[in-house]
Structure formats: structure tokens, C-alpha cells
A and B are shown apart, each in its own frame.
Chain A
């Protein structure tokens, strides 16, 4: 079955430190991969996507993600975390018939 996994429910990082939120995928064909962020009581917002080409993708708010085909991973990264980055992060991928599935989400807390 096609799936998207986020192995960590919670990630804590100190303000100013680099952050990583992990995602692994299992989809058929060439994967299209996305990251979204959700702030409390809000809808999900698109951060960045990998379609093809450069394995390092840059997105909104200083976030970037690294696609690794051999490890089937698409980890989200930021060099220096801000308190305002605290939110719920979702990795997503379209599967057959363009059905878009999401990982379970990772709650990021940036500690001042």
C-alpha cells in the first residue's frame, strides 16, 4: 500500500538551532512530495514540493527539504529555528489517480 510516514510525533528544538522533521514515503513511480504546515485552528498551508530535478528544494519561511531516493526520504529542514515555527507539519504525496495522502503529522516545538 502506498503511504507516507513521519516517524516522530514530536520534535523539540531550541530557538536558533537547526531543525529537522522527518518523512519517509512508499509510493509507486516517481514520487511527488510535499510539506505543509498547520498553525492552531487553521487550515494547512503549503511550504514546498519536490517534483523532479535538484534534490534540495527551497520553500517558504526559510524551510528546505532534501529528497533522497535511495532512502525514500524527504526530510524538512531549517538552519535556524524560530519560536514562530512551532506548529504541526505534514508530509504528503499523491498516489494513484492523484489521490493525495498525508503523513500523521509531527508537532514541532521551538523553545525560546
Chain B
């Protein structure tokens, strides 16, 4: 299996632009997690899905952030409009039970 696939790996954009991050979980995994990593706050859980249904989105910072999982093999995290403080590495992870399998992350820089 190719593992969890995230795209893009790097994104540089200007404040106010829309950003869409994508994730393809491992086939057969029924839970998907989005995390954000920064030096200041470490790893923060933004939202997670179980069987494509959002279970807990309490970590989503504000209404500018939204996430979808239209099917078992694809999820998006969207930021609109983006702000410099959104600059971070965004990770997607999936699992069946037990341990999480992480993608390589999407490094977002908002200028």
C-alpha cells in the first residue's frame, strides 16, 4: 500500500486566498484525522471522521476552516480566506483501530 497520500506537499499563498489540502487515506481505513503542527502549539487535532462522518470538529480554529470527506478514499481541508497565522504543517492520518498512519504533511505558508 502507498500509505496516506497528501497533496500538495508545499503551498505558498497570499493572505486572503483560498487553500485546499487533500488527503487519500489507506484503503480500508475507516477513520481519518486532520492535525496541524506548529512550533508554538505542537500537534493539534482539527477534526476527525469515522466512516466518512465528522465526529468531532471542536479543534477547527474558526469558520474559515472546513473539512469534508465525500467518500472513503478522499478528504479535503479548506481554509478560506487564509491568514498568515494559518502557516503550519497540516497532517492527515488514518486508521482502522489502534495506531494512526500519517501522511508526509502539507507545509502551508501564508504571506
**Interface residues in chain A, defined as those with a beta carbon under 8 Å from any beta carbon in chain B:** 32, 34, 36, 42-46, 49, 51, 90, 92, 97-105
Q: Does residue B43 face the partner (Cβ distance < 8 Å to A)?
A: yes
Q: B102 contacts which of A32, A43, A97, A99 (Cβ < 8 Å)?
A: A43
Check A102–B105 contact: CB distance below 8 A: no
7 CB < 8 A contacts A-B: A32-B98, A43-B91, A43-B105, A49-B99, A51-B98, A99-B56, A102-B43
Query: Taking each of A32, A43, A99, A105, which has the highest tally of chain B beta carbons within 10 Å of its own beta carbon?
Result: A43
**Interface residues in chain B, defined as those with a beta carbon under 8 Å from any beta carbon in chain A:** 4, 31, 33, 35, 42-43, 45, 48, 50, 55-56, 91, 93, 98-105
B93: shortest Cβ distance to chain A, in Å? 8
A98 / chain B contacts, CB cutoff of 8 Å: 31, 48, 50, 55
Check A100–B102 contact: CB distance below 8 A: no
A97 / chain B contacts, CB cutoff of 8 Å: 55-56
Check A43–B104 contact: CB distance below 8 A: yes
Measured between alpha carbons, how far is A32 from B105 in the docked complex, in Å? Answer: 25
A46 / chain B contacts, CB cutoff of 8 Å: 99-101
Check B102–A45 contact: CB distance below 8 A: yes
Closest B residue to A6 by CB, please name it.
B42
Measured between alpha carbons, how far is A85 from B10 in the docked complex, in Å? Answer: 26
Q: A99-B48, A105-B42, A105-B43 are in contact. Are A34 and B99 (CB under 8 A)?
A: yes
Check B33–A100 contact: CB distance below 8 A: yes
Measured between alpha carbons, how far is A105 from B43 in the docked complex, in Å? Answer: 9
Closest A residue to B104 by CB, please name it.
A43
Q: A49-B98, A97-B56, A99-B56 are in contact. Are A44 and B91 (CB under 8 A)?
A: yes
Q: Which 9 A-B pairs have the closest CB atoms?
A: A43-B102, A46-B99, A102-B43, A44-B102, A104-B42, A43-B104, A43-B103, A99-B56, A43-B105
Q: B104 contacts which of A42, A99, A104 (Cβ < 8 Å)?
A: A42
